[in-house]
Structures are given as structure tokens and as C-alpha cells.
């Protein structure tokens, strides 16, 4: 097609896409072209702005390594990751309990977490912080227990570091793999996690500073639940009184994922005899959807070991 004017460019590209053999590829690319071209027309994109944008996208790739994925960080910072999670996981319908919101896998999930008995601790090296006792139940779309769910649990320390970015913590600290009992129940002991900043030394940091945003993730526990016949559930349970609960830099917090983290005073007996001071408990029920069970790819291939990362906290 010979271009007569700017309005012909979109038609020409879409016409060439008709040659694509894969129907889904054709749908995706055609929609992408339409929206990109509409964006350029709406904002009257200048040549200088286009050159800056292309350089910015190139830097996202250049800043991605085996221990850090700047592209995934950007997708989260624009809300795309959270949107895709919610688009692909809905309610069961017919008055059944809604499926638990899928949530961000995050950059620090590791396969092969240590198998841990129900009721065991995932604290594997000295980790200061208030004890946390967790009871989690796994149900199907009709509310029936799901026995034998393989559950991965992981979270940051009370200082805001995952073990694979912190040389002070033992390997696999604050990680565990559990098997739900006949009641679909998993329980374990840990310490109450803290929120933490996302890196701001690359293109994502520039974006957050330009928008006047903070770079904090509110405190949360990660859960990955796997069972044949059910869609793998990847989710997080957030601490509702975290100061950044409404300003998550990755837009992961949903109403359904606010956990009931209950504070208990020193005068309340804890589930473990060695706990003498304050402690927390969390009870949470997850509803899994029927579907295909599959494990994700680890977001990073290397261990971010070395000195603790000194990530500045933006105060926008």
C-alpha cells in the first residue's frame, strides 16, 4: 500500500498483519498497532519524544540482568501486571465463593523451598521480629476443602529483605513448602514481615520520580498453591495497617487480599511455649478455581547475594 498521508499508515500496517498465520498473534498485534497509533495521534507525539521513548525502552532491557528484571518492574509500576492477574481470574458464579484474587509473583520466588511439616517454622536463621502464626485453608469453588495442595510460602524479613538478596540470612530463610492436610489446612510459624522499597536506580526510578510517587511495597506474605485439576494460585496477603497500603508502587493490593493480622499482647498465650512477649496471628481462606496446574518460571535466574541493597525511599 502506498502511503498518501498519516491516516494511511495504520491501515497499511493492519493490512500487512492480515498475512499472519497465527490467529491469536494477529489479534494481539492488530490491537497493539491500533492503540499505539491512536496514542501517537492523541498526544501529537513529537519526533524528539519518540526518540526519547525508544531510548527509554532500550534501557529497560539493558538494565535487566539475571538478578534483576527492570521490564517486569516497569510492568508492575504501570499497573499492567496487576491488571493481567485480575483479567484472567474471576468469580466462580452461581453464588459460589469468589476465587481468590491472583496477585504478583514478585521477583524473589525460588523453586524447591524446604519441605516443612504443618505447624513448623520457616525461620531458618536468627531473624529479629514479632512471631507470626499462620493458619491457611484451601477450598474449591463450592467451598469444599482441597486436600494435598502443595503450598509455597515466602516473604521478606522484618527489615525488608528477602533471603536471596541478604547475606545475613541463611539460605531459604523465611521460605517453606507445605502439603495441605485432609481439611485443606496449612499452618506455620514465622515473623511478621515488613514492607520494602523497589529499586529506583534505573528507568523505573525515573518514572516514579517524574510522577511524584513512592517506591514502597506494603508488607505481605506470598502464597503459591499447586494441585492437579486446579489453576495454580499465586497470591499475596497484605498487612492492612501498613503505611503504604494505599500507595503500593506495584498496584498489587486488592480489597480481598487484606489479611486479618491480629496483634496479641504479652498477656495472651501464644501457640508456642517459647513466645513470652507480643505476637501476631493470621487466618486466611483461599478459594482455588478449576483449571490447569502449572508452575511459573523463576523471575530471576541468579541469587542477588552480596551487600544488602541500599535502596532509597522516595517520599512523593
User: Is 90 exceeded by the pLDDT of residue 202?
Assistant: yes
Residue 76 burial (CB count, 10 A): 23
Helix (H) or strand (E) holding 210: helix 203-211
Q: Would the pTM count as exceeding 0.75?
A: yes
pLDDT at residue number 310 = 75
pLDDT at residue number 282 = 98
Give percent above pLDDT 90 in the chain.
84
pLDDT at residue number 92 = 46
CATH superfamily membership of 93-287: Aromatic compound dioxygenase (2.60.130.10)
C-alpha cell of residue 125: 536463621
C-alpha cell of residue 249: 508502587
CA separation for the pair 306, 168 (Å, rounded)? 10
CB 214 within 8 A of CB 224: no
How is residue 253 annotated by DSSP? Answer: -
CB 97 within 8 A of CB 127: no
CA separation for the pair 220, 234 (Å, rounded)? 13
Render the burial of 286-310: b for 16+ CB within 10 Å, e for the rest: bbbbeeebeeeeebbeeebeeeeee
Judge residue 174's burial from the number of C-beta atoms within 10 Å of its C-beta, 0-12 exposed, 13-18 middle, 19 or more buried: buried
The string of pLDDT tens digits covering residues 98-157 is 789 999 999 899 999 999 999 999 999 999 999 999 999 999 989 999 999 999 999 999
pLDDT averaged over every residue in the chain: 93
pLDDT at residue number 126 = 94
CA separation for the pair 191, 197 (Å, rounded)? 19
CB 215 within 8 A of CB 198: yes
CB 299 within 8 A of CB 72: yes
Amino acid at each position: 500500500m502506498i502511503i498518501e498521508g498519516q491516516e494511511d499508515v495504520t491501515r497499511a500496517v493492519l493490512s500487512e498483519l492480515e498475512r499472519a498465520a497465527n490467529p491469536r498473534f494477529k489479534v494481539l498485534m492488530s490491537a497493539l498497532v491500533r492503540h499505539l497509533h491512536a496514542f501517537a495521534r492523541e498526544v501529537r507525539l513529537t519526533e524528539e519524544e519518540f526518540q526519547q521513548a525508544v531510548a527509554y525502552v532500550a534501557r529497560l532491557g539493558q538494565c535487566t540482568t539475571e538478578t534483576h528484571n527492570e521490564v517486569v518492574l516497569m510492568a508492575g509500576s504501570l499497573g499492567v501486571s496487576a491488571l493481567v492477574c485480575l483479567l484472567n481470574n474471576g468469580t466462580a458464579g452461581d453464588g459460589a465463593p469468589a476465587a481468590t484474587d491472583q496477585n504478583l509473583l514478585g521477583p524473589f520466588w525460588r523453586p524447591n523451598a524446604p519441605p516443612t511439616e504443618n505447624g513448623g517454622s520457616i525461620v531458618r536463621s536468627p531473624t529479629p521480629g514479632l512471631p507470626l502464626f499462620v493458619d491457611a485453608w484451601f477450598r474449591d469453588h463450592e467451598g469444599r476443602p482441597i486436600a494435598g495442595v502443595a503450598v509455597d510460602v515466602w516473604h521478606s524479613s522484618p527489615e525488608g529483605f528477602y533471603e536471596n538478596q541478604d547475606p545475613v540470612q541463611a539460605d531459604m530463610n523465611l521460605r517453606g513448602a507445605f502439603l495441605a492436610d485432609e481439611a485443606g489446612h496449612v499452618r506455620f510459624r514465622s515473623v511478621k514481615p515488613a514492607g520494602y522499597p523497589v529499586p529506583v536506580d534505573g528507568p523505573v526510578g525515573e518514572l516514579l520520580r517524574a510522577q511524584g510517587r513512592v517506591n514502597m511495597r506494603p508488607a505481605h506474605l506470598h502464597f503459591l498453591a499447586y494441585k492437579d485439576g486446579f489453576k495454580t494460585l499465586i497470591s499475596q496477603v497484605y498487612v492492612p495497617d501498613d503505611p503504604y497500603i494505599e500507595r503500593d508502587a506495584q498496584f498489587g493490593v486488592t480489597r480481598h487480599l487484606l489479611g486479618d493480622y491480629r496483634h496479641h499482647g504479652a498477656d495472651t498465650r501464644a501457640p508456642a511455649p517459647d513466645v513470652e512477649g507480643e505476637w501476631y496471628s493470621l487466618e486466611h481462606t483461599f478459594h482455588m478455581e478449576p483449571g490447569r496446574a502449572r508452575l511459573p518460571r523463576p523471575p530471576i535466574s541468579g541469587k542477588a547475594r552480596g551487600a544488602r541493597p541500599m535502596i532509597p525511599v522516595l517520599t512523593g
